Amino acid sequence: MRSFFGWILLIGGLSVALVGLCDAGVAWLSQHPLMYDSSTGVALPPGFAARLSMPRLDSSLYVVEAKHARDLRRGPGYIQGSVKPGDPGNCIIAGHRDLHFRVLKDIRVGDEIELDTARGHFTYRVAATEVVSATDRNALKAVYPRQLTLVTCFPFYYVGRAPKRFIVTAYPLEHF
């Protein structure tokens, strides 16, 4: 009987670990695709809308169209209702702090952010970073005709639902 409960505990523990590994595996595989669609002139794998690069941080990520929260497991995602890069308004991209956007903990004012899409190449410069409450929507409003906003939860190493948001605001290079 004792052995039976030991096996049950072992199987339960392995199941919990496997679920966590599956999420990490989906995140990793989504950012390392084996096939590219270069017919648009931009090497984007199917199902992805852009490639987000932060050269100083040596980071390059595929951006998904975020229709559901679960889409953010595959990569950072465009927030519905925000504009596409190059369009007037605020292009908002959100990502998980413990997956793809962990790199934002090291971003600095003045860093360049590049977005490659089927519509072209767009380069932005980080103008500000700030920490706001999770309910603060003012940080997502456009203050310049064209801007890029990156959003992730904060603190970066918080366990559970993070109480704040880390916001990166960037403007096209011609703004500077």
| pLDDT average, residue stretch 55-68 | 88
The domain made up of 35-175 has a fold known as Sortase; Chain: A; (2.40.260)
- pTM attached to this predicted model: 0.76
Whether the Cβ atoms of residue 36 and residue 43 lie closer than 8 Å to each other: yes
The whole-angstrom separation of Cα 72 and Cα 69 is 6
Average pLDDT of the chain, as a whole number: 81
Q: Where are the domains of the chain?
A: 1-32, 35-175
**DSSP 8-state class, residue 47:** T
- Residues marked active site are found at 96, 153
State how far the Cα of 56 lies from the Cα of 65, in Å rounded to an integer: 25
Read off the tokens for 107. Answer: 């971003």
Q: How far apart are the first and last CA of the chain?
A: 72
pLDDT, one tens digit per residue, over 84-127 is 877 889 999 999 898 889 999 999 999 999 999 888 899 999 99
Q: How confident is the model at residue 36 (pLDDT cuts 50, 70, 90)?
A: very low
Which percentage of the chain shows pLDDT scores above 90? 41
Q: What is the pLDDT of residue 40?
A: 44
Give every CB contact of residue 27 below 8 A, 6+ residues apart in sequence. 73, 74, 75, 96, 99, 100
